[in-house]
Amino acid sequence: MNRLDGKVALVTGGSSGIGFAIAQRFVEEGAYVFITGRRQPELDKAKDEIGRNVTAVQGDVAVSADLDRLFHTISKEKGRIDVVVANSGLVDPQEFGQISEESFDLTFDVNARGALFTAQGALPQMTDGGSIVLVGSIAAYSGIEKYTTYSATKAAVRSYARTWTKELKDRGIRVNTLSPGPIDTPIMDSQAESKEGADAIRAAFASVIPLGRMGRPEEVAAAALFLASDESSFCAGMDLSVDGGMAQV
């Protein structure tokens, strides 16, 4: 079924992990997709793997000039945006008592500031009746050790969906948060010094998930497709968790 036939979608951080799976699924469902990320080689690889109906625009969501360039490219190539998935994000685990100002600023710049200015930058080109999907995290409402700043940025993202749902109602633009639990992506490796360390993080997460395993990016992409498409036409301001039950029971 082509649930996104003819739609134009932006997926930030579409070069890896969850964002890549979302971009790939959206194209399979008939969309034309713009993907972003800072690393050009990762973007080139993702573009090749997706294979069609995709434009990769290198850039940092925390840098206004990069976002301006992204929206200029979309305007020139397609002239509109139907779906925005603000997905770019990072985690920099630090124990409370030792959180550095640099880590706080970086995490808020990318996760909280980046999501806001991505969605706001898209607004002028957004089709009335479009969909904004903000990738949050169950960390927004769970206590996870060393995730002080990360969790706070995701709580901010959850809050955006509430405010924007009211502010965008006259345009019929729906805003929802999609909150993954632990999903097996490169973000897990980014939190450890070694492969053994990353394996230990994966095992620790898997052990507290009721379904007994980590999630797969494709499982989050299926939920993103639901929120992006008309199948969720009466869902607004909500939070959809895809977490194997971790934060639900």
Please tell me the count of residues contacting ligand NAP according to CB under 6 A.
Answer: 28
Give 127 or 152: the residue with its C-beta nearer to ligand NAP.
152
Give 28 or 109: the residue with its C-beta nearer to ligand NAP.
109
Q: Choose, from 32, 141, 147, 150, the residue flagged as catalytic.
A: 150
110 binds ligand NAP (CB under 6 A): yes
- Residue 182 Cα to chain centre, angstroms: 14
Q: Could you tell me the CA-to-CA distances from 206 to 39, 182, 244 in Å, in that order?
A: 29, 8, 10
* CA pair distance 131, 236, nearest whole angstrom: 9
Indicate the SS3 state at residue 2. Answer: coil
245 binds ligand NAP (CB under 6 A): no
Give 15 or 229: the residue with its C-beta nearer to ligand NAP.
15
Site track 47-66 with ligand NAP (rule: CB under 6 A), x = hit: -------------xxx----
Give 37 or 130: the residue with its C-beta nearer to ligand NAP.
37
Residues 6+ apart with CB under 8 A from 46: 14, 15, 16, 20, 23, 35, 37, 54, 56
DSSP 143-208: --TTBHHHHHHHHHHHHHHHHHHHHTGGGT-EEEEEEE-SB-SHHHHTT-SSHHHHHHHHHHHHHT
144 binds ligand NAP (CB under 6 A): no
The piece of 3-11, 77-85, 184-192, 225-233 that touches ligand NAP (CB under 6 A) is: 184-192
Which of positions 8-37 make contact with ligand NAP (CB under 6 A)?
Answer: 12-13, 15-19, 36-37
Q: How far is the CB of 46 from ligand NAP (least distance, A)?
A: 8
Q: How far is the CB of 217 from ligand NAP (least distance, A)?
A: 6
87 binds ligand NAP (CB under 6 A): yes
Neighbours of 189 (CB within 10 A): 14
Q: Spell out a b/e string for 36-66, using b for 16 or more CB atoms within 10 Å of the CB, else e.
A: bbbeeebbeebbeebeeebbbbbbbbbeeeb
Among 45, 90, 162, 216, binds ligand NAP (CB under 6 A): 90
Active site residue 150: yes
213 binds ligand NAP (CB under 6 A): no
* CA pair distance 59, 36, nearest whole angstrom: 6
176 binds ligand NAP (CB under 6 A): no
135 binds ligand NAP (CB under 6 A): yes
Residue 192 carries which side chain, given as an amino acid letter?
A
Catalytic residues: 150
Q: Catalog residues that contact ligand NAP under the rule CB under 6 A.
A: 12-13, 15-19, 36-39, 42, 60-62, 87-90, 110, 135, 137, 180, 182-183, 185-187
